Every structure is written in structure tokens, then in C-alpha cells.
């Protein structure tokens, strides 16, 4: 499973946040809580959403997770939601399905990064759910890992 590579400009999402453990049921529950807000956010990419992760504590196995939609700057943040800036970055992009997301993350962190010649930057990494994502187990999505060449 070899990734493609892309450089993206900075962008903003508006959504919801929680401190979570990997593959916890709290994450799908956050998405369910976010659903009523979808029509209140003026998106710049209809039918595209993001699951953003950062600040992994490898001892406690917890990280920050945001689900959200990409917005133009400036956009008012509706009550009950938060804003997250994703900085400009180069990414390794791994396609997968909803049912293989855990396996794909395992491959990225346990195999690919160690052998690739790249290291992960401290920036956020994210799942991008596009127009073809329908929530079924075989629904496609992409995982974006912020990378730089190993020195």
C-alpha cells in the first residue's frame, strides 16, 4: 500500500472536538452529535468532511479529535461548535475504507513510516471523507499524514 503525496495550503474546519482513545465508540458518537449542525455551516466543499487528530499521548493512549467541515475565512463559528486550523503541509495520502481504517493506521505507523524515509511532523493528521462516502463499511476515505523527509 503505497501513498500518493500532496502539498495542501492551510485550511479551517468548524465542527466538534473531544479527547479520545483510538477506535473508541466516542468518535462515531461525536459524528452523530455533529449531524444536526451540518446545515448551519457554510462549507466551501460540499459533501466533504474531516476527522482530524493531534496531540497523541502515547502513555495514556489519548488524542484530540475534531470532526468538521471546511470553511472559508472568516466564518462565524456557530454556538456549540469549535474551529480548528490545519496548517499548510505536505502529506502522504493513504486510501482505505471505513472497515479498514484501523488496519490502515496500523500499517502507516507500524510499517510505512519506519521504512519510508519520511517522518511525521507535529501537525495534525486527518481522515477526509469525500462525496462517495456513505457510512457503509466499504465506503472510501483517505488518510492524510503530515510528513517531511527524514534527515
Specify whether the CB–CB gap between 70 and 43 falls below 8 A: yes
pLDDT digits (tens, 9 = 90+) for 129-149: 999 999 999 999 999 999 999
Question: What is the domain class of 4-149 according to CATH?
Answer: alpha beta
Using the predicted structure, report yes or no on whether residue 47 has a pLDDT greater than 90.
no
CB neighbour list of residue 17: distance below 8 Å, 6 or more residues apart: 64, 65, 66, 82, 84
Q: Average of pLDDT values for 117-123?
A: 93
- Which of 53, 56, 78, 47 minimizes the C-alpha distance to 66? 53
pLDDT digits (tens, 9 = 90+) for 73-100: 788 999 999 999 999 999 999 999 999 9
> SS3 string of 51-66?
EEEEEEECCCCEEEEE
Provide the residue ranges of all domains of the chain, joining segments of one domain with +.
Answer: 4-149
Amino acid at each position: 500500500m503505497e501513498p500518493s503525496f500532496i502539498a495542501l495550503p492551510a485550511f479551517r474546519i468548524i465542527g466538534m472536538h473531544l479527547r479520545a482513545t483510538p477506535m473508541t465508540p466516542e468518535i462515531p458518537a461525536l459524528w452523530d452529535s455533529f449531524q444536526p449542525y451540518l446545515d448551519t455551516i457554510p462549507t466551501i466543499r460540499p459533501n466533504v468532511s474531516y476527522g482530524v487528530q493531534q496531540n497523541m499521548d502515547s502513555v495514556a493512549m489519548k488524542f484530540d479529535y475534531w470532526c468538521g467541515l471546511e470553511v472559508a475565512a472568516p466564518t462565524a463559528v456557530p454556538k456549540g461548535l469549535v474551529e480548528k486550523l490545519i496548517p499548510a503541509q505536505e502529506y502522504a495520502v493513504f486510501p482505505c475504507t471505513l472497515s479498514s481504517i484501523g488496519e490502515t493506521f496500523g500499517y502507516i505507523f507500524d510499517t510505512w513510516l519506519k521504512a519510508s524515509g519520511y517522518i511525521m511532523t507535529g501537525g495534525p493528521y486527518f481522515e477526509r471523507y469525500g462525496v462517495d462516502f456513505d457510512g457503509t463499511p466499504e465506503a472510501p476515505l483517505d488518510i492524510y499524514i503530515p510528513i517531511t523527509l527524514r534527515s
